[in-house]
Amino acid sequence: MNKIILHRLIATLAIALLAFLCWLAAGMLSDRMVQQEMTSTVRTERQMAASIVDNMAQIIASDLAMSRAIPATLAQMDLIQRALAQSRHYASNPAPTESARRVEWTAQPGNARVNHFLHDAQGFSGLDSIWLVNEQGFCIASSNSEDENSFIGFDMSGRAYVTRALLGGFGEMYGVGRLSGEPGIFIAAPAYQDGYLVGAVIAKVSIDRLRHWVARAGTFVTDENGVVVMAHDGRLEYEAMPDAPVTHMTPRERLEHYRRETFPELRIMHVGEQMRESAHWLAPTLAESFYATNGGTVPSLYDERTGLNSGLSAHIVHPLTTWPEISRNHSRDRFLVFLTMLGVVTLAIVIATSYSRERRLHRATRDLAEQLQSANTLLSAEARHDALTGALSRRYFLDTLRHEIELARTAGAPLSVAIADLDHFKQINDRFGHASGDRALEHFVEVCREQLRPSDAIGRLGGEEFGILLPQTSLTDAQAVLERLRKRFHHEHCAHLPDDAALSVSIGITELAADDALEWILSRADLALYEAKSRGRDRSEVRPADPTPPARHPEDSLAGK
């Protein structure tokens, strides 16, 4: 009897020990399973978030480029230039009050026609407001001139974008309207008459027109001061990023720019360590990529794209909606694996269930990966910038050239085009390696950006050959600018190259003729480049417009260098 009790006791202890060991083994196995599932999910969601924020940044750049073209075009019109030039006579000694200036300047002969034109231009362009600011910073004409509180007579010289335009540069900035109280993007373009700066054309695009920027959940846009100016979740608007520049502004500056003084901090915090307290299986390297906003409990992935031309930045806080399900799956998996180790029947059931679930998961992951790959392929095919140098891609450079040719013909403005080719580039690759050749290409684009205006464009046509677009620039001015660029590139040593690595560039320059086709102007620039090469390199040559199209075809010449 005692032996039976002892055997039963030993059997019970063995079963308990076996169950305990199976439970430990089930825990280890389930931890590994959920780690793999979580890694795969995070990788897929991170690719999706990156695609969303990249597309968002491209949409912002495209919309602002279209809006920027409207005031730039108006600034080239004779009607606008004459109105700004004539304001010197009646606005040189302005009245002391805004209302007095508005009454006096609205009654000036010819201003009614200008105001009516600006009103029509606003309606056709889709902008919210357009107004003219003279060289002293006073608004002399406006698209809302018939309103009781029009902009006419206001002193706008304190606005940063106006100051930049009156110094001859293009300006873009987020701000809140002084009269309307509505936020928007303000775009300023300088206006010249006979080579003299006479004022600026200012346009405003309301934020409400740009809400499609944040159509996806978790997306938001910040301005150059780190303030959230637009968000899919409206509760985040007018919150500030941690240590944002707006926190260093004075209350008066914040009130002038945003019509408010306080900006709650948008807290984007790492929550990986807190998650590991309840989910010990979570890998530390994976936990580092988890964030939460303003104390939220849902783990999210964060990504951003900064450095857009307007000072805006695109952000996304992409929530991991599958996290609760994955956590539940972990507990369920451990119990299922535990059951499989206790019996053959339970093992078969658990294997069938796990196999079916894993197949569905892998199929869904594969389908999502294929969709992402197709979307990334499409985005890559339409990429606007060269991946190495950051210059415009060949296709987008040619599209930009076509657009600028149309603008130049419409406004009657000059347009110069150049093709630059780095000298002895093959020798640099052969002597110092292709990595040094890549640094040389990047250095050339950096020098171009330092020497050229924001309105100019540089694109990589292929290899070491670049196209340079100079809107509103005559052939003589273009030669002077590019000759200065050439000398700077020759004499400024690239820090990433050996000391004995000498760089130089040959440049061919031409300008747009009345009946020019895109192929002709590129061919002339290519012929000028060929002439610079044949005369010893490290020089620039110009080729004026010919009455007949050049003999060489640009595609052949560009492809054969």
Count of CB atoms situated within 10 Å of the CB of 88: 13
| 355-364, 421-430, 481-490: range with lowest mean pLDDT | 355-364
500 and 547 fall within a common domain? yes
Per-residue confidence band for 561, with pLDDT thresholds at 50, 70 and 90:
very low
Between CA 486 and CA 411, with CA 470 as vertex, the angle to 5 degrees is: 160
433 and 503 fall within a common domain? yes
50 and 81 fall within a common domain? no
Q: In which order are the strands placed within the sheet that holds 183-193?
A: 139-142, 129-134, 196-206, 183-193, 171-176
In a domain, 20, yes or no: no
Mean pLDDT of the chain: 84
Q: In which order are the strands placed within the sheet that holds 540-542?
A: 457-462, 465-471, 415-422, 505-511, 540-542
199 and 89 fall within a common domain? yes
Q: What is the pLDDT of residue 557?
A: 41
Per-residue confidence band for 525, with pLDDT thresholds at 50, 70 and 90:
very high
Where does residue 311 fall: left (phi above 0), alpha (psi -120 to 50 degrees), or beta otherwise? left
351 and 230 fall within a common domain? yes
The rounded distance, in Å, linking the Cα atoms of 435 and 439 is 6
134 and 113 fall within a common domain? yes
Quote the domain boundaries for residue 94: 75-208
Residue 146 has pLDDT above 70, yes or no: yes
Please give the average per-residue pLDDT across 55-78, as a whole number: 88
Per-residue confidence band for 483, with pLDDT thresholds at 50, 70 and 90:
very high
- Residue 223 carries which DSSP code? -
What digits encode the pLDDT tens for the residues 273-322? 777 777 777 777 777 788 888 777 778 888 998 866 667 899 999 888 77
The answer to whether the beta carbons of residues 205 and 188 sit under 8 Å apart is no
In a domain, 300, yes or no: yes
Residue 553 has pLDDT above 50, yes or no: no
Of 360, 378, 412, which marks where a domain is finished? 360
459 and 324 fall within a common domain? no
Q: Which residue has the higher pLDDT, 177 or 451?
A: 451
400 and 538 fall within a common domain? yes
The rounded distance, in Å, linking the Cα atoms of 498 and 411 is 47
Residue 49 has pLDDT above 70, yes or no: yes
> Kind of pairing, strands 183-193 and 196-206?
antiparallel
151 and 237 fall within a common domain? no
Of 208, 239, 271, which marks where a domain is finished? 208
In a domain, 524, yes or no: yes
Q: How far apart are the first and last CA of the chain?
A: 101
Amino acid residing at 206: S
Of 160, 176, 208, which marks where a domain is finished? 208
- Residue 261 carries which DSSP code? S
> Kind of pairing, strands 313-319 and 415-422?
unpaired
The rounded distance, in Å, linking the Cα atoms of 185 and 429 is 45
179 and 87 fall within a common domain? yes
In a domain, 5, yes or no: no
In a domain, 383, yes or no: no
43 and 119 fall within a common domain? no
84 and 155 fall within a common domain? yes
Supply the CATH number for residue 399's domain.
3.30.70.270
Count of CB atoms situated within 10 Å of the CB of 363: 10
Please give the average per-residue pLDDT across 137-141, as a whole number: 92
